[in-house]
Structure 1
Amino acid sequence: MALSIESKGPIPPASTAQDCVQDTPARKEWSAGWRKMWATAIVFVIFILLIEIGHRSLPPFLFPSSVEIWRALVRAVTEQYAHILITAARFLFALATATVIGWFLGLLMGAFRNTLGALANPALSILQAVPAVSWVLVAILWMSNVEARVWFICFMVGVPLYAVSVYEGVRDIDADVVEAIDQFRPSRWQTIHILLVPQSLVHLLVSMRSVSSLVLRILVFAELIGASTGVGSQMSDAQTNFQMAMIFAWTVIMIAVNFIIVLLIDWSETKLLGWRKEATVR
């Protein structure tokens, strides 16, 4: 007698161990974090090897070893930390004022693009084309106050970048969204508050990473030329005294500060722009 088996549907494929593990967002974030840590560690080791190769290939007074750089780094952090705090305070004030003014200007340019936008866009293009060293030299000749001098240089570099980024972001608003808002007959200021401000903040945060790094580099350069305090002035003193290890140490400190700034901006983007989906090319 033949046995018959009643089938109630397609037989599911055998599950593998990989299918049993749920690929949750938390697991993806944890895996991405570990990959980033490993990549950072590998790059760090490569840089240490390159430093040792340079130390053995060139005279010691031209290229110090990693041990000498570490000792200089400890001395800079423990004995000359006041200069780091001065540079950090200058940077935060300059970046904050450039961010606020640049965002406000770009927002108004986008809201009144036929008048203010048409006039300010060429002016910002000219300001962006001015070399940073020109602002440094002009500030030294124009201003006697060191703090005003350093702030002016960073402000003039940062504001055009922020304003143009916000302006382009406002221009990039979907036309269908604008038509939907127009159905309610809002005033110009209501449109700015409901539609333009959120759109501009997205582009402001996205551009902050590159602008902050540029402003930090310009700030150190301005301190090197026209200030007697701060990290830039200490690098100038180290160059005058031919202390290559201190130059490398201050460079490492600025790299670390830049990494901290980028991490804070990334955290802000995660909290404020978490609703945006990140596209992955496969």
Structure 2
Amino acid sequence: MTDVHLEPPAAAAAADVPADRPLVTVEPVGAWVRYRAAVLGTVGVLILLVGWQLVSSLALIDPLYISSPIRIVEAAPVAITDDGFLHHIAVSAQEFVLGMLLVILTGIPFGMLAGWYRPVRELSDPVVSALFATPIVALVPILVLTLGIGVGSKVAFVYLLAVWPVVINTTAGIRDIDPGVIRMARTFGAGDWRIFHTIALPASVPHIIVGLRNAVSRGIIAVVVGELYGASAGIGYYLNQTGQIFQTDRYYFAVVFLALVGVLLGLLLTALESRVSGWKVDR
């Protein structure tokens, strides 16, 4: 009887690989894969602008109520130099920054506490859910009457409208941590604080960034709405003034400017997320 010697699959596979061939090959990323998101995003914006220009040029909507990209570009220098637009932007930026600082300083820590400690979450969850679903816009007149038409009422409105997405997403980020990772860390003798700042905090960063994106959008809306109700300066005040006298081109210039600010802040947050959570798989 002839003895049959079976070669292990791994050994057989290794024997078929040339000695000078690397075990792992890395394919270079092509230009299309690298810049695809930027190219497609630019194409989408161009389609929107061309469609908008056609609607305006063909007079499908009364030009008194709709501007066009070309007219907005032509109106931009006049708005900036003659209307004090930069002053209004500075006022709104101050209100937005102060409100968002309060959101970050309170919303993120509270969301972490609610996600880490179950009693805190169970105690605050009904209140947070109710306030998140409440139409905060209805409180603007009360805030203006209470805090005046100055910066205080706008900061309060930004905070009330923007803080809840941060709290909810931060809480979700802490709760989504794999319990097995925490148990393994405890097995190796890690305490609560070490687990929190080496595992929980980094793992929750993507959720926090999502919450901040939503908060930025809601914060910009809050500034505009608050200034529409009562203000002596600011981008909302500017929109109110230009809208009342049908300066359509300048009105839409302010709206487009706010949209660009929101897009820019979103890109900055995306870049921050990529830098601090490079371990996350992009799908």
**TM-score bucket (shorter structure):** 0.7 to 0.9
Distance in 2 of aligned mates of 1:271 and 1:122: 34
Closer, same or farther in 2 for the Cα pair 1:200/1:259, shift >3 Å?
Answer: same
Residues 193 and 25 (structure 1 numbering): CA distance in 2 closer, same or farther, change over 3 Å?
farther
By how many angstroms is 1:27 displaced?
Answer: 5.5
Q: Secondary structure at the match of 1:166?
A: helix
Mapped contact 2:227–2:237 kept (Cα < 8 A): yes
- 1:138 and 2:133 aligned: no
Answering whether residue 78 of structure 2 is matched by residue 75 of structure 1, we say yes
Aligned partner of 2:202 among 191, 198, 203:
198
Aligned partner of 1:51 in structure 2 is 56
Please, which runs of 5 or more residues in structure 1 have no aligned partner?
1-9, 11-21
Q: 1:169 aligns with which of 152, 167, 173?
A: 173
Take 2:180 and 2:30, find their aligned partners in 1: how far apart are those partners? 32
- 1:235 match: 239
Normalised to the residue count of structure 2, the TM-score between the two structures is 0.82
Structure 1 partner of 2:272: 268
Match of 2:7 in 1: none
Q: Is the 8 A contact 1:99 1:158 kept in 2?
A: no
Identity %: 24
Task: Give how far 1:58 is off.
Answer: 4.1
Change in 2 beyond 3 A, CA 1:96/1:68: same
Which runs of structure 2 are paired with 1:17-96 in the superposition (5 Å)? 23-24=28-29, 28-53=33-58, 56-79=59-82, 80-96=85-101
1:64 Cα offset (Å): 4.1
User: Is residue 165–residue 214 contact of structure 2 (8 Å, CA) maintained in 1?
Assistant: no
Q: Distance in 2 between matches of 1:23 and 1:185?
A: 42
> 2:212 maps to what in 1?
208
Shift of 1:148: 0.9
Residue 255 (structure 1) aligned with residue 255 (structure 2): no
2:56–2:63 Cα contact (<8 Å) kept: no
User: What is the one-letter code of the residue matched to 1:122?
Assistant: P
RMSD, aligned α-carbons: 2.2
Q: Does 1:178 align with 2:182?
A: yes
Deviation of 1:243 after TM superposition, in Å, equals: 2.1
Tell me whether 1:112 sits opposite 2:111 in the alignment: no
Q: Taking structure 1 as reference, are residues 273 and 60 closer, same or farther at Cα in structure 2, changes over 3 Å only?
A: same
For the residues of structure 1 that align with 2:187 and 2:80, how far apart are their CA atoms?
60
Cα distance in 2 between the residues matched to 1:38 and 1:158: 31
2:42, 2:69 → 1: CA distance? Answer: 22
| Counterpart residue number, 1:156 | 160
The unaligned stretches of length 5 or more in structure 2 are 1-15, 17-26
Structure 1 CA distance, aligned partners of 2:257 and 2:78?
12
Partners of 1:226 and 1:45 in 2: how far apart?
Answer: 36
3-state SS of paired residue (1:57) = coil
**Deviation at residue 70 of structure 1 after TM alignment:** 3.0
For 2:182, the aligned partner's letter is: V
- Contact 2:149–2:231 (8 Å) recurs in 1: no
Which residue identity is paired with 2:103?
A
| Offset at residue 185 of structure 1 (A) | 3.8
Quick check: 2:217–2:262 contact (8 Å CA) kept in 1?
Answer: yes
Report the alpha carbon displacement of residue 167 of structure 1 after superposing the two structures with TM: 0.5
* Alpha-carbon offset, residue 237 of structure 1: 0.8
Q: TM-score, normalized by length of structure 1? A: 0.82
Quick one: distance in 2 between partners of 1:243 and 1:250? 11
Aligned-pair distance for 1:28?
2.0
Deviation per CA, 1:151-191: give whole Å up to 9, x if none.
00110111121111111111111121121112134333333
Checking the alignment, whether the CA contact within 8 Å between 2:92 and 2:234 is kept in structure 1 is yes
